[in-house]
Structure 1
Amino acid sequence: MNNRIEWIDALKGFAILTVVIGHCADGILSAGMYSQYKFELQALYDAIYSFHMPLFFIVSGFVFWLSKSYNKYKSKVLDFVIVYLIWDFLTWLVKFLLGAKVNKQVGFEELLGIFYHPIAPMWYLYVLIIFYLIFSVLNIKKVTFPVVALCGVVAITSKIMNLNIGVINQLLYHAYFFIMGVYCSNKIIYEAKNTACLYVLYGFGVQYISVL
């Protein structure tokens, strides 16, 4: 029996596409290539980075609750850890072998640091693993709106303060969007879909307040 939800798959596909395009634009801008298109590339980069990672975490939180992953988190977390270590190592290896030809060079310090400081593109999986562990170990299956609102305040505050505390910055900021995904999943199941859509719009409100 096929239990997949087509609009969720389409949303994930769209989010993946924005990540690929966003990283391409970022790489071109960082390398100083195609300077004649700098304005257009910067506009594209700014537009994508204004929503794509919050969208990923909202979808992740939504699917986490809907698929009841908190009941099978050990296998899920193990899968995530394996994928994270493989791709973080491969990312490091390519950057290391290419040396001065990459925008951000890496050494053996960065390789050892993948256990506490993921290489830039891989931080999403690292943070997602921590969210899965927190929600599953603490048996958090449902969240209330006051909790969502409090996490929104924490997210905005972390952006404003701009603390240099590594991946913790990402945890503090994106926890709000993951929790919003869990909350919206509850709303779609127990209430109306249009109600959940309103909460998704509210969720992105925090992102744009933070950007401003």
Structure 2
Amino acid sequence: MEKVFKKRHYLELDYLKGIGIILVILGHSFSFTGFDLINKEKYFIYYYIFNFIYSFHMPLFFIAAGFLSNQEYKIKSFYISKIKRLLIPYIFINIIDYIPRHLFSSFVNNSSNSLIRVIFYSGVATWFVYTLFVMFLLFPMLDKYIFKKDKYYIFLYFLLIINMLNPEMSNVNIFTLNRIIFYLTYFYFGYILKNYYEEIKKNKYFNNNLLYIILSIFSLFFLYKYSENNITKVIYPFIGFMLCLKFSLFLKKYRNIKFLEFCGKNSLIFYLLEPFFAAIYRVGLIKFIDLEYHYIIVILFFSLKFISLCISTIIINKIKVLSFLFGNKITINKKEGE
């Protein structure tokens, strides 16, 4: 590849990640209630919404990560930044997670979170951070020997074919290799997209609203088939990304969606804390609300978690030690950087 990009802030990616993390919280509000609300036979509408969210919400973050990784970097500072941004929060949250998960094992979906599981299998609720960190460990080598070569696009085709065929290797979960194989497709797509991003935004087809109407209709029509074959699982994230990117660029015109920007910039904190609030509110809601009012449970479950996450994030950002432990960059002294 000929183009190399210096670091730049993309507000639309904050919006994109904000949309993504809200969908994560909403998706978990269906699947983590303990009421089997995503049962296709009992609650088809919930099953449909759940499939819609899960068809693309996590690939959004890997596409954004790949996009932002296409820039100049030094290997030493690159690894240090990933240790601070991902490894330290991963270790910290799993230490915090261990105590309540074992003391109150009857209140959680999975009480096992051994040291072996944390080191080799991404913990219980931190697979995204673990997978992205391992991916970044491999990134400099991939970047040098594959991403920047003339035939770089062949590697993307290779990843697409592997995931569509679903070989036995996709079942290897040590070091989350199965997830790396799948999500590297979207990470690499984001990396490539960076090279043509400015040109794509000006393209008449990209700005054709009819295209997004067609994509939306296609997505909704075939969504019920999403979980039944590997082809739809591979294709849907690209469609979901295009729709969310277009919506994010539309919002960017107003430049005042501070709330969505806040969610995007703090999406890692939201992701790390969400399982704790999910466990707390799930117990309370199941105890006080009857299954007959399942729609109320979903609304309350989502709202309570989201409000709690916003408040917690504001507090964490005001405390330097906590902010650091959750992966935020901390400027010790502005004058030093002048």
Query: Could you say which TM-score interval applies, normalised by the shorter chain?
Result: 0.7 to 0.9
2:132 is matched with which residue: 128, 131, 140? 128
Query: Distance in 1 between the 2:87 and 2:184 partners?
Result: 19
Rg larger in 1 or in 2?
2
**Secondary structure at the counterpart of residue 95 of structure 1:** helix
Provide closer, same or farther for how the CA distance between residues 208 and 187 of structure 1 changes in structure 2, counting only shifts above 3 A. Answer: same
**Secondary structure at the counterpart of residue 105 of structure 1:** coil
Query: Distance in 1 between the 2:47 and 2:192 partners?
Result: 33
Higher helix share: 1
**Secondary structure at the counterpart of residue 131 of structure 2:** helix
**Secondary structure at the counterpart of residue 121 of structure 1:** coil
Gap regions ≥5 residues in structure 1: none
Does residue 66 of structure 2 align to residue 47 of structure 1? no
Provide closer, same or farther for how the CA distance between residues 22 and 106 of structure 1 changes in structure 2, counting only shifts above 3 A. Answer: same
- Assess if the C-alpha contact under 8 Å between 1:151 and 1:176 holds in 2: yes
Provide closer, same or farther for how the CA distance between residues 187 and 57 of structure 1 changes in structure 2, counting only shifts above 3 A. Answer: same
Q: How does 1:171-190 map to 2 (within 5 A)?
A: 171-188=180-197
**Secondary structure at the counterpart of residue 171 of structure 2:** coil
**Secondary structure at the counterpart of residue 103 of structure 1:** coil
Amino acid at match of 1:90: I
2:22 is matched with which residue: 17, 22, 37? 17
1:84 is matched with which residue: 90, 94, 99? 90
Q: CA deviation at 1:22?
A: 1.3
Amino acid at match of 1:169: N
Percent identity (aligned): 22
Does residue 169 of structure 2 align to residue 165 of structure 1? no
Amino acid at match of 2:119: F
In structure 2, the residue matched to 1:106 is: 112
Q: CA deviation at 1:15?
A: 0.8
Segment of structure 1 superposing worse, 54-63 or 68-77: 68-77
**Secondary structure at the counterpart of residue 192 of structure 1:** helix
- Assess if the C-alpha contact under 8 Å between 1:50 and 1:207 holds in 2: no
Q: CA deviation at 1:119?
A: 2.3
What are the Cα deviations for residues 47-102 of structure 1, in whole angstroms up to 9, with x where unaligned? 11111111111111011114x45653122221111011112332333322221121
1:154 is matched with which residue: 147, 162, 176? 162
In structure 2, the residue matched to 1:6 is: 11
In structure 1, the residue matched to 2:69 is: 64
What are the Cα deviations for residues 77-136 of structure 1, in whole angstroms up to 9, with x where unaligned? 2111101111233233332222112122225xx233201111243111111112212122
Provide closer, same or farther for how the CA distance between residues 78 and 19 of structure 1 changes in structure 2, counting only shifts above 3 A. Answer: same
Amino acid at match of 1:177: Y
- Assess if the C-alpha contact under 8 Å between 1:15 and 1:55 holds in 2: yes
Q: CA deviation at 1:194?
A: 5.5
TM-score, scaled to structure 1 = 0.78
**Secondary structure at the counterpart of residue 52 of structure 2:** helix
Query: Distance in 2 between the 1:55 and 1:188 partners?
Result: 16
Larger relative contact order, structure 1 or 2 (CA cutoff 8 Å, min sep 6)? 2
Query: Distance in 1 between the 2:159 and 2:235 partners?
Result: 16
In structure 2, the residue matched to 1:32 is: 35
Amino acid at match of 2:115: L
**Secondary structure at the counterpart of residue 21 of structure 1:** helix
Amino acid at match of 2:48: A
Query: Distance in 2 between the 1:162 and 1:45 partners?
Result: 27
Provide closer, same or farther for how the CA distance between residues 121 and 139 of structure 1 changes in structure 2, counting only shifts above 3 A. Answer: same
Q: CA deviation at 1:162?
A: 7.8
CA RMSD of aligned residues (A): 3.4
Q: CA deviation at 1:148?
A: 1.2
Query: Distance in 2 between the 1:24 and 1:39 partners?
Result: 15
- Assess if the C-alpha contact under 8 Å between 2:55 and 2:233 holds in 1: no
Query: Distance in 2 between the 1:168 and 1:138 partners?
Result: 15
Query: Distance in 1 between the 2:16 and 2:231 partners?
Result: 18
Does residue 148 of structure 2 align to residue 142 of structure 1? yes
- Assess if the C-alpha contact under 8 Å between 1:148 and 1:179 holds in 2: yes
Q: How many residue pairs were aligned?
A: 200
Q: CA deviation at 1:184?
A: 0.4
